[in-house]
Amino acid sequence: MENFNEMLEKYAELIVKVGLNLQKGQRLHISADTNTAELTHQVAAKAYQNGCPLVTVLWGDEDLRKIRHQYAPRDSFEEFPAWVTDGQMRDAKRGDAYLSITGRDPELLAGQDPDLVALELKTIAKHFKPVSEYVTNGANQWTVVCPPTPKWAAKIFPDAAPGEAEEKLWKTLFALCRLDNDDPVTVWRNHLEDLEKRQVYLTEKQIATIHFHGAGTDLKVGMPDNHIWKGGRSKTKGGVVYTPNIPTEEVFCMPHKYKVDGTVQSSKPLNYFGNLIDNFSITFSEGRVVDFKAEKGEDTLQKMLESDEGASYLGEVALVPHKSPISESNLVFLNTLYDENAACHVALGSAYKENIQGGTEMSDEEADAAGVNKSLIHVDFMIGSDQVDVDGIMPDGSVLPLIKNGDWAFNA
């Protein structure tokens, strides 16, 4: 790609200025896979150029993770290096911004023991949860990005030569991130303003129930009182506006933990930490999963649902028009960051307390009474398509169309 370096620099600038909105004098903590070093270096350079005094990088290596699953003792998967989360909590309380740059192989752990995969993920989630809750409850800016890697590109473009596949995925990502414009930062700010108008509209409506119907799905998602829709941008308790996900096309909220009923059919495969779950359906009653089946990865789905008590309840409901740029690419990315922004989705597991008035100040008991789910996991899966319509059922029983034939059915 002739202009690759120029586009990569634009991407890094977008991450620093729109994603993190890194403040002058603020430190940056990056968690990155070793196969994303090129982008990580560009982000560090942009951060320093914008007044960051120190960029700290915690490197991960997917190949080492696979080696552990192949050779480590079975009784060692509850081991965890406490210095990792101790250091991250220290940095978070100091006010560092957080950036995650992941470069995952969609089938990294395919064929590995699902019990060990589940145990490893539960161990990781347990140790990271205090840091995650502290950061995502408004203390710090945080952003997640997923740049292309050779193994991921090969899964998306299996008929292309290795180098060609990665180049095609980079070109696709640059377009989806609106980097093929002269001023991507301004284009992004306009896009985020549109999402903000929609979230304000939905919050003001205080819809009682979201009804998804079509293509095997008939799901009613009850909403808690005083819920708050979010989308695109978030704001720290200190008033700093940032963008958690790049790219992003969603507006999202929390469902009431105990008011979800019906059956939902997946519309895209779910890549759960290197294991694919495909063509699956889940049935809920009074919020809880009571039945499920999957054409592929049913064991993985079961282990995920057994992670803890809250894993069998929903923590997020999100609206995304099927006519979004990611959906119109006609690609299945096998990566939640991209696939969740191509379709309406829900998430099993923990809710974001920012989605309910006063949520970040609630005790666990108060949150549960208000319908806020708590879990070690938060796993999005896609349920939307141009065959699934979405309606809002108002407190008086009237119906407000939200998405029709894959596109927004309301103006904000």
Contacts of 241 (CB under 8 A, 6+ apart): 21, 233, 234, 235
Instruction: Give me the mean pLDDT over the 93-112 stretch.
Output: 92
Q: Which candidate, 349, 300, 305, 341, places its Cα nearest to that of 133?
A: 349
What is the spatial distance between Cα 306 and Cα 313, in angstroms, rounded to a whole number? 11
What is the spatial distance between Cα 315 and Cα 288, in angstroms, rounded to a whole number? 11
pLDDT in the model for residue 215: 95
Question: 3-class DSSP state for residue 40?
Answer: helix
Could you tell me the sign of the dihedral formed by the alpha carbons of 120, 124, 129, 135, in that order?
negative
pLDDT in the model for residue 270: 94
List the Cα angle 332/301/373 in 5-degree steps.
Answer: 100
Instruction: Give me the mean pLDDT over the 95-123 stretch.
Output: 92
pLDDT in the model for residue 375: 95
Name the percent of the chain lying above pLDDT 70.
100
What tens digit of pLDDT does each residue of 19-68 get?
999 999 999 999 999 999 999 999 999 999 999 999 999 999 999 999 99
pLDDT in the model for residue 2: 77
pLDDT in the model for residue 1: 74
pLDDT(86) > 90? yes
Hey, what CATH topology would domain 4-176 get?
Thermophilic metalloprotease-like (3.40.1830)
What tens digit of pLDDT does each residue of 191-226 get?
999 999 999 999 999 999 999 999 999 999 999 999
Q: How many residues does the chain have?
A: 412
Q: Which candidate, 104, 30, 122, 100, places its Cα nearest to that of 65?
A: 104
What is the spatial distance between Cα 207 and Cα 329, in angstroms, rounded to a whole number? 31
Contacts of 393 (CB under 8 A, 6+ apart): 207, 208, 209, 210, 211, 220, 399, 400
Spans of all domains in the chain: 4-176, 184-229+246-408
What tens digit of pLDDT does each residue of 136-150 get?
888 999 999 999 999
Instruction: For tokens 């089946």, name the residue.
Output: 293
Alpha carbon separation from 244 to 74, 97, 128, 145, 376 (Å, rounded): 36, 11, 18, 9, 19
For residue 15, the Cα-to-chain-centroid distance in whole angstroms is: 16
- Longest Cα–Cα distance in the chain: 60
Alpha carbon separation from 37 to 41, 51, 363 (Å, rounded): 6, 21, 40
Q: Which candidate, 271, 288, 255, 311, places its Cα nearest to that of 106?
A: 271
